[in-house]
Amino acid sequence: MPHISQRGVEMPNSPIRKLAPLSDSAKARGLKVYHLNIGQPDLPTPEAALNAIRNIDRTILEYSPSDGYRSYREKLVGYYAKFNINVSADDIIITTGGSEAVLFAFLACLNPGDEIIVPEPAYANYMAFAVSAGATIRTVSSSIEEGFALPPVEKFEELINERTKGIMICNPNNPTGYLYSRAEMNQIKHLVQKYDLYLFSDEVYREFIYTGSPYISACHLVGIEENVVLIDSVSKRYSECGIRIGALITKNKELRKTLMKFCQARLSPPLIGQIAAEASLDADTEYLRDMYDEYVERRKFLIDRLNRIPGVYSPIPMGAFYTVARLPVDDADKFCAWCLSDFEYEGQTVFMAPASGFYTTPGLGRNEVRIAYVLNKEDLNSALTVLEKALETYNALSEK
């Protein structure tokens, strides 16, 4: 039998989806499964987007330009201007989701053997995309005790060597919900300047900030404009995960030319997705305001309720719609699997993402889970009741 590639062997499983077969089995047994594992919003997609799809009047669903429709990119210029991100349509490349934007950025910027520094816990697919590019993730660890604040800049410098080519951040952060402060972003800027690194900045959750602290984009950092690669997506802000439309933004002309080679090789981003995404920019202001208000309520409810469960602790996330919570278990991977395979409470169980998959350092996150608060408060309440009962039962069994 032929051998699997080393790249395939090294490619990590998704901590978000790896337990999906157990979830499917639980549903087949008739259980209601509360999905707290994945950032799939339950709020409706803007009606403007749905109408644009319903009213498509074309005889051919053709290829789009490799960098995306210009009309969409020009409308995005106005969208970003609302956040004081000043770009032109030529700075924007439309991608097949934010995931492709990260992958193409790594492929265009990194050679096999190069290294990028990422604060952990981090979105697990960054590791997968680095493996695809033959690059290595080096991590600096943030801790739940510190609310997942950015580690001291000295921790970054300890890792920098001749193979270091960039720093990757997610702001607001997935999986922790942390929002980087102006001081923290300036620390990163000085490192990028000092060592002439790329700064890959995933900012898909900019609409979801629940504190008075300002949103500081990597594009706001003066003096490193040519180093910044901004990653974006419509998946979360418009509840459009399935249309697979993202964006990569850079003012680095040489990098854009290189990126276009990868874009041309995959031909074009999704046609129908771009139609929906462009229409979404016309969504009324009430849509985003109502969505924001709903997540504010869910966040408050979730954190209050979580921290009342004996032995559970979660810091207050300042952005996105995730939190990482510490559970009174010795192995969250086993516990999350057990919840789906062996536990039920009144015909219900809960699906969470073990946080160990968001860390690269072995042993970290073993008693932590990522929870996405993408369910309404009634379902969140039921899910947390199930979680509390599951912890009681699991720990009682462990003591036997």
Per residue in 260-298, pLDDT (tens digit) is: 999 999 999 999 999 999 999 999 889 999 999 999 999
Mean pLDDT of all residues belonging to the chain: 96
**pLDDT at 8 (0 to 100):** 87
Average pLDDT of 364-385? 97
Could you tell me the pLDDT band of residue 137, with boundaries at 50, 70 and 90? very high
- Tokens (6 digits) for 80: 């970003």
- Tokens (6 digits) for 353: 């993402």
Q: Say what the pTM is.
A: 0.95
**pLDDT at 141 (0 to 100):** 97
Could you tell me the pLDDT band of residue 27, with boundaries at 50, 70 and 90? very high
Location of structure tokens 């549903």: 27
Amino acid at 339: C
Does the structure show a pLDDT above 90 at 397? Answer: no
**pLDDT at 151 (0 to 100):** 92
- Strands (DSSP E) contained in the chain are 32-35, 92-95, 115-120, 136-141, 164-170, 198-202, 228-233, 246-249, 322-326, 348-351, 353-354, 368-372
> In 3D, which of 369, 243, 362 has the Cα closest to residue 309?
369
**pLDDT at 398 (0 to 100):** 79
d(CA 394, CA 396) in angstroms, rounded, equals: 5
> pLDDT digits over 201-234, tens only?
999 999 999 998 899 999 999 999 999 999 999 9
Could you tell me the pLDDT band of residue 400, with boundaries at 50, 70 and 90? low
Structural domains of the chain in order of their starting residue, each with its CATH number: 6-44+285-398 (3.90.1150.10), 47-280 (3.40.640.10)
Whether 231 contacts 103, CB under 8 Å: no
Does the structure show a pLDDT above 80 at 68? Answer: yes
SS3 89: helix
Phi/psi-derived region of residue 65, left when phi > 0, alpha when psi is between -120 and 50, beta in every other case: beta
Average pLDDT of 172-176? 97
Does the structure show a pLDDT above 90 at 7? Answer: no
**pLDDT at 351 (0 to 100):** 97
**pLDDT at 128 (0 to 100):** 93
> pLDDT digits over 305-337, tens only?
999 999 999 999 999 999 999 999 999 999 999
CB-facing half-sphere around the CA of 223: CA atoms within 13 A: 10
> pLDDT digits over 120-135, tens only?
999 999 999 999 999 9
d(CA 206, CA 83) in angstroms, rounded, equals: 9
Does the structure show a pLDDT above 70 at 3? Answer: yes
Q: What are phi and psi of 339, to 5 degrees?
A: -55, -35
